[in-house]
Amino acid sequence: MFEGIGIVVGVSGGIAAYRACDLVRLLVKDGMDVHVVMTEAGARFISPLTFRALSGHDVGLDIFGTSESIGHIALARKAKAIVIAPATANTIAKLAHGMADNLLTALSLAARVPVLVAPAMNSAMWENPATRENVVTLKRRGVRIIGPAAGEMACGEHGEGKLADAGAIAETVRMAVALPKDFAGKRFVVNSGPTREPLDPVRFISNRSSGRMGTAMARALALRGAEVTFVHGPSEVPPPMGVRAVSVETAEEMRSKTIGAWKRADGAVLVAAVADFKPVASAAHKIKKAAAVPAFSLVETRDILAEMGKNKGKRFLCGFAAETRDLVKNASEKLREKNLDMVVANDVSGKAGGFGSTQNAVTVLTKGGARFEVPLSDKDAVAWALADVISGEMIHGRRKTNAR
Ligand SMILES: Cc1cc2nc3c(=O)[nH]c(=O)nc-3n(C[C@H](O)[C@H](O)[C@H](O)COP(=O)(O)O)c2cc1C
């Protein structure tokens, strides 16, 4: 997804400079071509050697350096984004005033790509009106400010000014550079995770869904520019960045929030493992252990996908079919009966991937009769492949197939 994308990581002279190591490591792990540029002060906090080892490239330090590859214009042209983490109050002030007195500020000024700034400083410096005004100026010019976070600072004081978490900075970089942005201007609703149907205030009926596949799906669409409403049940993973997350618990809540968002959507991908049955009633108080084992009567929950299929219009509707047998047969019935544009069938019998796993293998069937096989891969990679199919079907109207 991010293989070979050029990124400049700027490290200025704050105590949090060492935390840029984690950021570089995460971006390199994604396959990005990371070049680190340090200010003179930055290089006093952490050795450039560390970043050379982590990034596999010489570190840019000197604007008057002779190496062609590290020239500031060359670097600015090669990068798809510049992320400055940590950004000191001083570097932020220089950026706000268009200064170009070191390699980092010069290449930021020469850049025609997104510049992302993660400030880190003592809270008094952060709250100083000079810094505030500089940050407002940068935001007005389209610079993305990431954080800072609140908490205990290196100086022992509490307050706002800590460098944002490396994972959050890396994800913001991915959002900025991910391509294609084929869902820009499109609104999606994605639902995800299990539901819980209460028996009493402490017990419920649920299922093994971890929420990982739905989370990956919402993330892939958001990375590709979609405006995503993410309706999720209690999941093992947090909602992705850059979506409007709506937390629900029961099948009925899942239905009302999903259908609510569907009213304004261009498309929907329903990944949630919504309970098919729920107890007729939930006891108001905890059911006590007694001589007789309690019997529970169940009723069917309302079918969200079928309801959305009925008033679909030209909107794109994709459902997931978790099956333990007759995968393709059951999925194609679901596609037809529920008026879907696409169904993603996954085998949850526990052989490979599926519920709870970080991996999945799926078969995709489309209304036009195309069939795609996505081999066992990380759920993020599966979601990206599914976004490719959705894009082909919804935006380009293609009917390709990769399976007989
Ligand atoms: C021990 C120490 C810690 C510092 N930590 C920070 C910091 O976290 N944030 C900040 O804005 N400045 C911090 N400074 C001040 C900067 O290093 C100083 O403003 C420097 O000129 C920044 O240069 P640069 O923006 O070119 O990297 C610190 C200075 C020292 C000596």
pLDDT, tens digit (0-9, with 9 covering 90-100), for 271-297 = 999 999 999 999 999 998 876 788 899
Q: Kindly state the helix (H) or strand (E) to which residue 255 belongs, with its residue range.
A: helix 251-262
Residues with CB under 6 A from ligand 1: 12-16, 39, 41-42, 88-91, 120-121, 125
How high is the pLDDT of residue 176?
95
Could you tell me what percent of the chain has a pLDDT over 70? 94
Question: pLDDT grade, residue 354 (50/70/90)?
Answer: low
CB atoms within 10 A of CB 313: 5
**Which two three-digit tokens encode residue 12?**
């200025």
**209 in Cβ contact with 193 (< 8 Å):** yes
Distance (Å) from CA 69 to ligand 1 centroid: 28
Q: What is the DSSP string of 140-180?
A: HTTPEE--PEEEE-TTS-EEEEEPPPHHHHHHHHHHHH-S-
Residue that the structure tokens 């995770």 belong to: 193
CA distances from 260 to 64, 231, 244, 256, 275 (A): 58, 10, 13, 6, 19
How high is the pLDDT of residue 404?
38
Q: Which atom of ligand 1 is nearest to the CA of 12?
A: 27
Q: Which atom of ligand 1 is nearest to the CA of 13?
A: 27
How high is the pLDDT of residue 356?
64
Q: Tell me the residue type at 65.
A: G
Architecture of the domain spanning 6-177: 3-Layer(aba) Sandwich (3.40)
Is 155 catalytic? The answer is yes
pLDDT higher than 50, residue 322? yes
Measured by CA distance, the residue closest to atom 29 of ligand 1 is 14
Nearest to 12 by CA among 64, 72, 82, 71: 82
SS3 state of residue 357: coil
Distance (Å) from CA 14 to ligand 1 centroid: 4
Q: How far apart are CA 373 and CA 342, in angstroms?
A: 13
How high is the pLDDT of residue 71?
62
> Which residues are within 8 A (CB) of 48 and not within 5 positions of it... i.e. 6 or more apart?
36, 38, 59, 61
Question: pLDDT grade, residue 353 (50/70/90)?
Answer: low
Q: How far apart are CA 121 and CA 379, in angstroms?
A: 37
> Which residues are within 8 A (CB) of 392 and not within 5 positions of it... i.e. 6 or more apart?
398, 400
Distance (Å) from CA 87 to ligand 1 centroid: 9
pLDDT, tens digit (0-9, with 9 covering 90-100), for 95-139 = 999 999 999 999 999 888 999 999 999 999 999 999 999 999 999
CB atoms within 10 A of CB 237: 16
Measured by CA distance, the residue closest to atom 28 of ligand 1 is 14
Measured by CA distance, the residue closest to atom 11 of ligand 1 is 88
Question: pLDDT grade, residue 66 (50/70/90)?
Answer: low
Measured by CA distance, the residue closest to atom 7 of ligand 1 is 14
Say which of 49, 73, 155, 179 is annotated catalytic. 155
Per-residue pLDDT averaged across 157-167, rounded? 92
pLDDT higher than 60, residue 399? no
pTM of the model: 0.87
> Which residues are within 8 A (CB) of 236 and not within 5 positions of it... i.e. 6 or more apart?
210, 211, 212, 356
Pairing of the two strands 371-378 and 197-198 = unpaired
Mean pLDDT of the chain: 92
Q: Which atom of ligand 1 is nearest to the CA of 90?
A: 25
Distance (Å) from CA 33 to ligand 1 centroid: 27
SS3 state of residue 371: strand
How high is the pLDDT of residue 72?
63
CATH 3.40.50.10300 residue ranges for the chain? 187-395
Angle separating helix axes 166-177 and 212-223, nearest 10 degrees? 50
CATH of 187-395, one of 2.40.50.420, 3.40.50.10300, 1.10.150.240, 3.30.413.10: 3.40.50.10300
Question: What b-and-e string marks burial along 155-178, b requiring 16 or more CB atoms within 10 Å of the CB?
Answer: eeeebebbbbbbebbbbbbbbbbb
Burial (CB < 10 A; 0-12, 13-18, 19+), residue 140, is exposed
Q: Which atom of ligand 1 is nearest to the CA of 41?
A: 27
Distance (Å) from CA 73 to ligand 1 centroid: 26
CATH 3.40.50.1950 residue ranges for the chain? 6-177
